[in-house]
Amino acid sequence: MAASVRMDLGDIQGDILRAYGNDYDCTTYAFMKIECPPEQARAWFTGVVDHVTTAAPWPPGEKPLTTLNVSVTARGLRALGVSEEVVGSFSREFRDGMSSRSALLGDVGPSDPKSWEPGLGSGDAHILLTINAQRTSDHERALGKMKAAMDAAGGLRIVYQADTELLPGSREHFGYADGFAQPAIEGTSDDKARGGGVPLKDGEWRALAPGEFILGYPDEDTRVDPKKRLPNAPAAPLGRSGTYMVWRKLYQDVALWRRVMRDAAKLYEGGDEHTLSAKVVGRWTNGAPLVKYPDKAPASFDPQTPGGNDFRYDKDKDGMRCPLGAHIRRSNPRDALGFEGHLSFRHRMIRRGMPYGKVLPEGVTADDGEDRGLVFVSFQASISRQFEGVQVQWLNAGNIFGLGHDKDFLLGDPHGTGKMTIPGKPPFFLSPQEVFVRTRGGEYLFVPGMTALAALADGTAG
């Protein structure tokens, strides 16, 4: 096994390897368009870069009140004056952008980029500033500062802004604890290897190579290379300590979800809506996994406690506990595809999503017209292999799991069979699959490392 790698945390932006997590309640995502010449934009960018939060650990008790992180689209690189040649060294899907991949991603019908919110997917989004704050007051101050700097510089415009806030108990809008199942990374989160890493034959696990998530480090392909070659990355210095970011605003139709689950449960064993919904996710609302707790949710369960994510599917091959089509089993099949995880461990991602919008009060099944959902954020070394691989091959297609044209029920793309099979005696066919989730916009971005940010600001990135 490769010796554990030391990460240059001071060169990597914060919130990628380790979550800011519940330390910050509010996150604002501000997409900017550069409407001025590159030199002028870089002068402003220099001021931004000075305030970027890195992954270096905070001294005890010195957690900043707010954090700032920066990412860029391919057009953003050009607007900062980066040459075509260097832009060409980035991955094709990043250069093409998320909206050009809509057919592949299943962003069709109501999720078609044509009906996305203005500013997203149109080529206007150049730079994304992500601001986290502990409290609303800090948040407003940080936003005010950002806007003042923009106005002073001139030639910059916010084309889209999303304000998000953690919901009580880290729930997403359908009511499930979310965001805690994350890949275990060598040199960073080795202690989370059980359940988070690669499931080995002997029942052990190992953490993933850091290059799966941060460019400039060995990945699962090169970790054993005797010549110590590194994976493909954009031209230096941009290719070091950076990562690709997927940003998607996913509207959740909570009232529709509740109505469908309520009505379907009338035909399900004992009319148990709670269990039926859990079968769709693969976890109970408090996060307890069905493979470990098949009959009912444990009264108290904290998914963050050690071992909370430590499970496999080997004792549940037919999905009697956790359906083969459950959201978490599709999005990370762990050992379920056999071959010691070889078919799944290159398709992992770090998720840093945040819910937006107000909670629909419990029990309400009529839509209140509010905009609510999930700002889905993932970090990975390859958007096509990791995010798109999961979205396209696992969530939107069922072949690899023996599920034919069944699509992930939770995401609600009805163009497959329109049902989900819940194994049981007899099995239950959950339907109709309605459009529970709609894509309202999104971008593929690149999160440069600190050295790379400085080079972008100086105009020396090539």
Kindly state whether residue 166 participates in binding ligand HEM, applying the rule CB under 6 A.
Answer: no
Residues in CB range of 60: below 8 A, 6 or more apart: none
Residues in 262-281 at the binding interface with other proteins, rule: CB under 8 A: 267
Nearer to ligand HEM, 150 or 336 (CB): 336
CB of 278 to ligand HEM, least distance (A): 10
Q: Is 226 in the site for other proteins (CB under 8 A)?
A: yes
Q: At its nearest, how many Å lie between other proteins and the CB of residue 266?
A: 9
Q: Among residue numbers 282 through 311, which ones bind ligand HEM (CB under 6 A)?
A: 283
For other proteins, which is the closer residue by CB, 13 or 421? 421
Distance (Å, rounded) from C-alpha 162 to C-alpha 356?
A: 8
Instruction: State yes or no: residue 387 binds ligand HEM (CB under 6 A).
Output: yes
CA separation for the pair 415, 405 (Å, rounded): 9
Q: Could you say which of 424, 429, 435, 459 contacts other proteins (CB under 8 A)? A: 429
88 binds other proteins (CB under 8 A): no
3-state secondary structure the chain: CCCCCCCCHHHCECCCCCCCHHHCCEEEEEEEEECCCHHHHHHHHHHHHCCCCECCCCCCCCCCCEEEEEEECHHHHHHCCCCHHHHCCCCHHHHHCHHHHHHHHCCCHHHCHHHCCCCCCCCCCCEEEEEEECCHHHHHHHHHHHHHHHHHHCCEEEEEEEEEECCHHHECCCCCECCCCCCCECCCCHHHHHHHCEECCCCCEECECHHHCCCCCCCCCCCCCCCCCCCCCCCCCCCCCCEEEEEEEEEECHHHHHHHHHHHHCCCHHHCHHHHHHHHHCECCCCCECCCCCCCCCCCCCCCCCCCCCCCCCCCCCCCCCCCCCHHHHHCCCCCCCHHHCCCCCCCCEECCEEECCCCCCCCCCCCCCCCEEEEEEEECCHHHHHHHHHHHHHCCCHHHCCCCCCCCCCCCCCCCCCEEECCCCCEEECCCCCCEEEEEEEEEEECCHHHHHHHHHCCCC
148 binding other proteins? (CB under 8 A): no
Q: State yes or no: residue 186 binds ligand HEM (CB under 6 A).
A: no
Q: Which stretch binds other proteins (CB under 8 A): 56-64, 127-135, 217-225, 392-400?
A: 217-225
- Which is nearer to other proteins, 187 or 418 (by Cβ)? 418
The region of 58-66, 127-135, 358-366, 423-431 touching other proteins under the rule CB under 8 A is: 423-431
224 sits near other proteins (criterion: CB under 8 A) = yes
Q: Cα Rg for the chain, rounded, in angstroms?
A: 22
Assess 395 for contact with ligand HEM (CB under 6 A): yes
Near ligand HEM by CB under 6 A: residue from 102, 331, 382, 451 = 331
Q: Closest distance between ligand HEM and the C-beta of residue 102, in Å?
A: 14
Contact status: 232 vs other proteins (CB under 8 A): no
2 is an interface residue for other proteins by CB under 8 A: no
Which of 178/406 has CB closer to ligand HEM? Answer: 178
- Residue 369 interacts with other proteins (CB under 8 A): yes or no: no
Which of 45, 160, 376, 444 forms a contact with ligand HEM (CB under 6 A)? Answer: 376
Binding partner at 222 among ligand HEM, other proteins, none, C-beta below 5 to 8 Å by kind: other proteins
Our CB check for ligand HEM shows the closer of 350 and 454 to be 350
What is the maximal distance between C-alpha atoms in the chain? 67
Which residue in 63, 135, 147, 229 binds other proteins (CB under 8 A)?
A: 229
Among 227, 270, 361, 362, binds other proteins (CB under 8 A): 227
Q: How far apart are CA 287 and CA 293, in angstroms?
A: 10
The amino acid at residue 350 is I
Q: Which is nearer to ligand HEM, 66 or 439 (CB)?
A: 439
Single out the segment in contact with other proteins by CB under 8 A; choices: 221-229, 305-313, 347-355, 376-384: 221-229
CB 261 within 8 A of CB 151: no
Among 26, 265, 281, 450, binds ligand HEM (CB under 6 A): 281
Binding site for ligand HEM (CB under 6 A): 172, 174, 176, 178-181, 250, 252, 281, 283, 327-328, 331-332, 349, 351, 373-374, 376, 387, 390-391, 395, 410-411, 437
Binding site for other proteins (CB under 8 A): 222, 224-227, 229, 267, 404, 417, 419, 426, 428-429, 431
